[in-house]
Amino acid sequence: MKQDLYACITAAEFPAQALLRLRSDLESEPVAVLEGRPPLETVCSLNRPARLKGAALHMTRLEAEGIQGLRQIPRSEETETAARAALLECATHFSPRLEDVSRGTACACVLDIAGTERLFGPPETLAERLRASLASAGFRASIAVSANFHTARLKAAATRGITVIPPHQESTALGKLPLDVLGLDAEPAETFAIWGIRTLGELAALPEIDLITRLGPQAAEWRSLALGAQPHTFQPIEPEFTLKEFCAFDTPVDQSDSLLFVAARMIDCLVARASARAFALASLVLHMELEGGRVYRRVIRPATPTIDRKFLLKLLQLEIAAHPPQAAVLLVGLTAEAGQSSKVQLGLFAPQMPEPSRLDVTIARLKAIAGEDRVGSPVLEDTHRPGSFHLESFVVADSAFAPPAEHPRLALRRMRPAVPVRVELRGLKPVAFHDNQRCFKVVAAYGPWKTSGCWWSSDGWNTEEWDVLAETTAGSVACLLVRNHQLSNNGRSVWQLEAYYD
């Protein structure tokens, strides 16, 4: 029969950890996180340097301002949600079965690690690897391993570091923990204080029947928890895989270098999380909240999914430089879309192709020079309007391009813009035209082919097309003449040389 084995992860002071994991510039500074309505905010979380400075939980904002050098940052629910998803994602790499046991300002979860010895080794090795994985993601957590669910939960919440409790040693491991770890209500906690019961070991030593007689049937559960024998029905959750990172600033940021410094850390986290699942980043959505209630949003979509951190940061830098925010930034968020990285098998003697990242950087720089709507891939529109198309972002197709088996016999080379011409008609049919440089004598003319549409709007069209074979002093040419009735020149239709046939 498989023996139960659980590992509990507890990240204490999680509001502070969530805000500081992306701010490496504040790692050694004392930071306190405030919550509540201004000016009645209180400290809900703080880091170790802040405690050494004299800061404490539930301290008012006025009291915190009296501590020299203490940074005060407002609590951010979006940042904590994204950080919690990242922590749970790290945990799922070691076990798909986990239960959320978060309480107060601590983020905690219990993993069912029974049967994982062949994958990660003994519990001590698994705990070390788990803690290293959390540290690389920016979390400081304590880990406790036990055969009892609640023993692992209580031990991880009350101690720091890694603790592996041998089987049948649960009561000994919990004996010195303070009674506060049970989260008792005020009345039973006061009763135990009057009795002089301060630790779980002292609670476990009380006679069960007399304890139930005085405090009711719930006292049996407290004693069972203190003994490390309380049973539990595991209730696993399935965390959603989302690639999101948020960072809230304590003061508005108006320097792009400061934004890119934080964005670099966010991209590193997103790439690491995607790589752990064999994914790449197909797109990045930059979301920023600005002063004055305005919102800034840009989408960055590389030609191919990538995990190149420097390349993604360069694209982000070019995007911000081309479209700078119009006010100071209060919050910045990055949301990534996961995609499959493409692999190309080159031939033995085939020339090396340029890296896709160079193409994306070149396109971003061209957009900054020419404009967003002037760079991309042309896409024909579903309309009868001649030459109607729009530009979309360039994306490398998944399948390789196969050239046609036969070369086209006739190609249409359009003139952009079309060349205005003067046309001589005979019987409503062109017989000659010239473009201020050359004269063309029409040998054969086929048409007209009339098209019109959108007559109800200002961008309607009404044209007739002629395919003509003309002679010049340089030889014969086949071309396309267009008569535009929508444009007028002193009340007369405008003729244009639209294209040549090659």
Enter the DSSP assignment of 306.
B
Cα separation, 329 vs 309, in Å, equals 23
> What residue type is assigned to position 458 of the chain?
S
**For residue range 11-27, what is the model confidence (pLDDT) as tens digits?**
999 999 999 998 888 88
6, 190, 215, 186: which is closest to 97 by C-alpha?
A: 6
Contacts made by residues 256-261, CB under 8 angstroms, sequence distance 24+: 256/317, 256/320, 256/321, 256/324, 259/320, 259/329, 259/332, 260/313, 260/316, 260/317, 260/320, 261/25
- Residue 471: per-residue pLDDT: 92
> 304 pLDDT exceeds 90?
no
164-192 pLDDT, tens per residue? 999 999 999 999 999 999 989 999 999 99
Contact 250, 71 (CB under 8 A): yes
Of the pLDDT bands very low, low, confident and very high (cuts 50, 70, 90), residue 417 is confident
Phi-psi map region of 490: left, alpha, beta (phi>0 left; psi -120 to 50 alpha): left
Q: Per residue in 328-352, pLDDT tens?
A: 999 999 999 998 876 666 666 766 6
Please, are residues 363 and 269 in contact by the beta-carbon 8 Å criterion? no
Per-residue confidence (pLDDT) for residue 200, from 0 to 100? 94
Length of the chain as a residue count: 502
Q: Any bridge partners for residue 283, and if so which?
A: 337
Helices assigned H by DSSP within 97-148: 117-120, 123-136
- As given in the structure block, the two tokens for residue 478 are 């086949």
* DSSP codes of every residue in 395-413: ---SSPP---SS--S--EE
Q: Please give the average per-residue pLDDT across 257-278, as a whole number.
A: 91
* Predicted pLDDT at 256: 86
Mean pLDDT, rounded, of the chain = 88
Alpha helices in 286-416 (DSSP H): 309-322, 356-370
| pLDDT at 396 (0 to 100) | 60
Paired tokens of 377: 């891939």
Q: For the chain, first and last CA: distance in Å?
A: 81
Cβ atoms of residues 480 and 443 within 8 Å: no
**pLDDT above 70: residue 101:** yes
Query: In this prediction, what percent of the chain has a pLDDT beyond 90?
Result: 58
**What's the pLDDT at 406?**
62
Distance (Å) of CA 446 to CA 20, 443, 449, 452, 480: 74, 10, 9, 19, 10
244-342+355-397: in CATH 3.30.1490.100: yes
- Pairing mode, strands 475-489 and 492-501: antiparallel
Cα angle: 51, vertex 54, 55; to 5 degrees: 65
Using alpha carbons, list the distances in angstroms from residue 383 to 389, 401, 449, 459, 460. 9, 26, 16, 13, 12
For the chain, what are the domain ranges?
6-227, 244-342+355-397, 412-501
Q: Is 344 helix (H, G, I), strand (E, B) or coil?
A: coil
What distance in Å separates the CA atoms of residue 29 and residue 463, rounded to the nearest whole number?
71
Tell me the residue type at 498.
E
Sequential DSSP letters for 24-80: GGGTTS-EEEEESSTTS-EEEEE-HHHHHTT--TT-BHHHHHTSTT-EEEE--HHHH
pLDDT tens digits, 350-403:
666 666 667 778 888 888 888 777 888 888 888 877 778 888 877 665 554 455
Query: Among 49-53, 109-113, 487-491, whose mean pLDDT is lowest?
Result: 487-491
Question: For domain 6-227, which architecture applies?
Answer: 2-Layer Sandwich (3.30)
Whether the pLDDT of residue 1 is over 60: the answer is no
22 touches 265 (CB < 8 A): yes
Task: For residues 122-132, give the mean pLDDT.
Answer: 95
Any alpha helices (H) in 93-199, and if so which ranges?
A: 117-120, 123-136, 149-158, 170-174, 186-195
| pLDDT tier for residue 40 given thresholds of 50, 70 and 90 | confident
Contact in structure between 267 and 313 (CB atoms under 8 Å)? yes
What percent of the chain has pLDDT above 70?
93
**Angle, helices 256-276/77-92, rounded to nearest 10 degrees:** 30
Q: How confident is the model at residue 490 (pLDDT cuts 50, 70, 90)?
A: low
Please give the angle made by the CA atoms of 132, 137 and 139, to the nearest 5 degrees.
75
Cβ atoms of 12 and 87 within 8 Å: the answer is no
455 against 496, higher pLDDT:
496
